[in-house]
Chains A and B, each alone.
Chain A
Amino acid sequence: MTFEVGSGLSIAVILTTVIVVAAMLIWVERRLLGFWQDRLGPNRVGYFGLLQVVADMIKIFTKEDWIPPFADKFSFVLAPAIIMSVILLSFSVVPFAPGVGVVDSNIGVLFVLAMASLGAYSVMLAGLSSDNKYALLGALRAAAQMVSYEVFMGISILGVVALSGSFNLREIVLAQTDGWYIIPQFIGFVIFLIAGVAESHRLPFDIPEAEQEICAGYHTEYSGMKFGMFFVGEYLGLVLISSLITVLFFGGWLGPSFLPPIIWFVLKASAFIAFFILMRAALPRPRYDQLMTYGWLFLLPVSLVNLLVTGVIILSTQ
């Protein structure tokens, strides 16, 4: 079996790596948050606390997996499966390096956006099927948040698509050989970053879970491995958004040739993962009507103007 785009070996390696990385992020996040809050974070289990992940996994696997008697069983079980599957499916179109990837799809950008929209069903189903007021509030907020960010999320990428002339993520990376899209598409990048935080339900936009306000929001009733899937799903979403920012705006695997392409990709994506964790450490959470106002009245017009200006510049330079 050869290691190329779409081979079985490639799929297995990417799937394992992505899930292991997402699990490791549990430790990375707690450690980094610790440093930024003048603490040490978990450092007792193994070197630097590296085995904390193993301990957490053992705990989550052996916990009682309880379904509340009042819950709607089918959708209750379905919801965590949806979020894991759609995010893992999104990884299939991400070009990690030349020859490393699952599918070389020419609608990669659209596929990712579609999967992101499906991911919102997971949150809403979880909240509805739990039959719990906090979960319902969480689902309500998730729905409100989804309507407000998905629109400008799509539009903010369109500038990149227009510049590269392709929906294929691999070709978008190759089109950045002369210069990363962060420079011509800086506004698009900022908007996509904000939308990405909202998409992966990370602080400051973790409005659907908002521990301090509504317990854990939509996954209040979840325990054991089902909760673990939401938990790891959130970190998978974080890895996905970081990878997408790297691919769309920071030239993916491109970089000086003293390091192999995959290392460049990992370095760039890690920097964004760290930035997302920094945002969690630093920024307070807005109310969800504030997020919606901000999204509709400011970010949507700005992304539209950004797209318009990009279009004018492309047409005038042709």
Chain B
Amino acid sequence: MLTLVKDTLTSQVVTLWRVFAHLWVKADTVEYPDVQPYMFPRWRGRIILSRDPDGEERCVACNLCAVACPVDCIALQKTEDEEGRWYPEFFRINFSRCIMCGFCEEACPTNAIQLTPDFEMAEYVRQDMVWEKEDLLIDGTGKYHDYNFYRVAGKKIGGKDKGEAQNEAVPVNVRSLLP
């Protein structure tokens, strides 16, 4: 009985001291709204649509992002301008469904759709979670500064004929015998 009491008391006193010593331990709390956390550049956050270095929309409305999206939160409609460039007539992301998986970014052949480190996307109205192209489109190039799909792609559009793209040879004339 006495040893039990002694052991119990000792253990209680030691516990009390150890807990009291935590007064000098820095709190683990992240004081989030007051102190902003460091967000890594590759963080998968809010989705944007970027522009190429010429300031044109990068998106060619190929629908690969919408197909890749596991929750089907991307909706878009392809259209063409007078030069033959494809672009989305509308481009809509429902962020209340989006799971920030980044599959759309991986699927995108033109680096148009990109995920950014912004995570503060709470809204008071559910409808505000649906972002249209005007909300998604930014003025810059995002993570890839030099890439311009129509400059390197072989597709013929107004102002750029076959063989005029960067690093592209003039097409071989299969009907000519000349080497």
Contact = CB atoms under 8 A, between A and B. Distances in A.
Contacts of B19: 36, 278, 281-282
Nearest to A284: B15
Interface residues of B, number: 16
A283 B16 contact: yes
Interface stretch (A37-45, A114-122, A129-137): A37-45
A61 interface: no
Given A38-B22, A298-B1, A278 B16 contact: yes
A36 B22 CA distance: 5
Nearest to A190: B9
A281 B23 CA distance: 12
B16 A282 contact: yes
A297 B8 CA distance: 15
A238 B7 CA distance: 27
Interface string B1-31: 1000100000010011011101101111101
A196 to B, nearest CB: 15
B12 A38 contact: no
A35 B23 CA distance: 6
Contacts of B1: 297-298
Size bracket of the A interface: 10 to 19
Contacts of A279: 16
Interface centre among B1, B18, B27, B28, by most A CB within 10 Å?
B27
A34 interface: yes
Contacts of A298: 1, 5
Contacts of B15: 282-283
A36 B26 CA distance: 10
Contacts of B27: 34-35, 38-40
A40 B31 contact: yes
B29 A278 contact: no
A283 B15 CA distance: 7
B22 to A, nearest CB: 5
Nearest to B26: A38
Interface of B is mostly: helix
Nearest to A282: B19
A282 B23 CA distance: 12
Interface centre among A34, A35, A297, by most B CB within 10 Å?
A35
Contacts of B31: 40
B26 to A, nearest CB: 8
Contact of B20 (A34, A39, A278, A297): A278
Contacts of A40: 27, 29, 31
A165 to B, nearest CB: 31
A298 B29 CA distance: 42
Contacts of A39: 27-29
Contact of A36 (B5, B12, B23, B29): B23
A282 B5 CA distance: 18
A282 B22 CA distance: 11
B28 to A, nearest CB: 5
A36 B20 contact: yes
Nearest to A275: B16
Interface centre among B18, B19, B26, by most A CB within 10 Å?
B19
Contacts of A34: 27
A299 to B, nearest CB: 10
A161 B23 CA distance: 37
Contacts of A282: 12, 15-16, 18-20
Given A283-B15, A298-B1, A37 B20 contact: no
Contact of B22 (A35, A283, A297): A35
Interface of B: 1, 5, 12, 15-16, 18-20, 22-23, 25-29, 31
Interface of A: 34-40, 278-279, 281-283, 297-298
Q: What are the 6 tightest A-B residue pairs by CB atom distance, in nearest-first order? A: A282-B19, A40-B29, A282-B15, A282-B16, A38-B28, A36-B22
20 contacts: A34-B27, A35-B27, A36-B19, A37-B22, A38-B22, A38-B25, A38-B26, A39-B27, A39-B29, A40-B27, A40-B29, A40-B31, A278-B16, A278-B20, A279-B16, A282-B12, A282-B15, A282-B19, A283-B12, A298-B5
